[in-house]
Amino acid sequence: MKTEFVSVSDAIPGMIVACDIYTFNNILLIDKGASLTDRVITRLMFYNIEQIEIIVSPDIEMLGDNFDLDTLESLSEEERAVITEFSKTTSDCVAKFKASLSSTFVDNNELDTLKLLDELNSVLNKSRNSFHLLSLLNIMKERDDVIFHHSINVALLASMIGNMLHFSEKDMNVLKLGAILHDIGKLAIPQKILATTNRLSEKDFAIVKTHPSKGYELLTKQEVPISIKNIALQHHERCDGSGYPNGLKAEEIDKFSKIIAIADCYEAMTSPRAYRDIINPFEVIEFFEAEGFRLFDAEYLVPFMHGIVDSYINKKVMLSNNVKGTIILINKLALSRPMVKLDTGSFVDLYTDRSISIVRVYM
């Protein structure tokens, strides 16, 4: 039996797990021999698991495109134009972000933080509000320059949290810059490792996991606030001490790092991959409700979850019984299980009827 290591972000439903998978504090997550599903992969991401050993199979097909086409076809011409403009602005922001980082860390120039903030704000200004921003992010699909797009998306999500908590302009700027730069350490990881389409070795995975420390080292050479440096170092830390690189606990983690950790985790869990469409956000919120309060700070997690689910009021959904409907009411006791008005005219309360769940959200 041949086995190999695969990044969880590249894992595909149907892959067979070659050995038991545990969390960093020894809780069994997946049994040896289990077959991966979308839900299992999402669970692995939730617990900060970055690699797993699987039994090799040549039978998995990779799929993908740039947008959720079914969603786009259902939108008005005006809405499509907004999405196209948002996509273009985001792509321009990513290109300028890459150029700025190259100038700083390759040519040894000073990091232009004001320019980075201006570029990010140009993207934020394309959305009417936080809810509209979430809709735009969910419609867009993953594309080239994954690391840079991920950083921009994390910054947009973190900005939403900061706005909900009424952060000062100074704190908002720290939050935005820290989010943009949280994965900066990956610039110090050999490109052949980050860009490979082959399976990474265990040694290469260990190198990738040094990126928080590498990011901190890079930023110590720049005139940026300590919280921004801490974000680069601490965004994979968790409040129960199960994170890395230092296994910090809640009181030891910078508040900005706690926010970026939530945004980073959510963005990673909901980002489409080559094999899958956009992950249903209510499934992710269910994970946060059930297990997130051990890993993340409730002060920031609660408003984030409320902001996410509230953005889906009046959105069309597909239920697990293959019936379509519209979300009309969020249950504050169970955010992942709202009230839905079915296209047939009847209503279903997903809080009381646990046999049905949301499997897809139409933007």
Say if residue 264's pLDDT is above 80. yes
Cβ-contact 12, 36 below 8 angstroms: yes
Say if residue 65's pLDDT is above 90. no
Predicted local confidence at residue 101, as pLDDT = 74
pLDDT digits (tens, 9 = 90+) for 89-122: 777 777 777 788 777 766 677 788 888 888 888 7
Compute the average pLDDT of residues 293-299. Answer: 96
Cβ-contact 79, 127 below 8 angstroms: no
More confident residue, 100 or 84: 100
Compute the average pLDDT of residues 304-312. Answer: 93
Which residue from 185, 247, 242, 260 is spatially nearest to 49, judged by alpha carbons? 242
Compute the average pLDDT of residues 22-47. Answer: 85
More confident residue, 251 or 12: 251
| Domains and their CATH numbers in the chain | 3-55 (3.90.105.10), 69-307 (1.10.3210.10), 313-362 (no CATH)
Structure confidence at residue 268 as a pLDDT band (50, 70, 90)? confident
Predicted local confidence at residue 91, as pLDDT = 74
Backbone angles phi, psi at 360, to 5 degrees: -155, 145
Which residue from 141, 158, 332 is spatially nearest to 257, judged by alpha carbons? 158
More confident residue, 7 or 242: 242
Predicted local confidence at residue 362, as pLDDT = 83
Burial 339-352 (b: 16+ CB within 10 A, else e): bbeeeeeeebebee
In the chain, % of residues over pLDDT 70: 82
Structure confidence at residue 148 as a pLDDT band (50, 70, 90)? confident
More confident residue, 348 or 278: 348
Say if residue 155's pLDDT is above 80. yes
Give me 300's structure tokens: 């920031």
Predicted local confidence at residue 352, as pLDDT = 96
Compute the average pLDDT of residues 157-169. Answer: 93
Residue 191 CB partners (closer than 8 Å, separation 6+): none
In the chain, % of residues over pLDDT 90: 44
Task: Please provide the average confidence, as pLDDT, over all residues in the chain.
Answer: 83
pLDDT digits (tens, 9 = 90+) for 177-193: 999 899 989 888 887 77
Predicted local confidence at residue 64, as pLDDT = 40
Predicted local confidence at residue 292, as pLDDT = 95
Predicted local confidence at residue 62, as pLDDT = 41
Structure confidence at residue 176 as a pLDDT band (50, 70, 90)? very high
Compute the average pLDDT of residues 21-28. Answer: 78
Say if residue 198's pLDDT is above 80. no
Structure confidence at residue 63 as a pLDDT band (50, 70, 90)? very low
pLDDT digits (tens, 9 = 90+) for 328-340: 999 999 999 999 9
Q: Which residue's entry shows tokens 């009411």?
A: 329
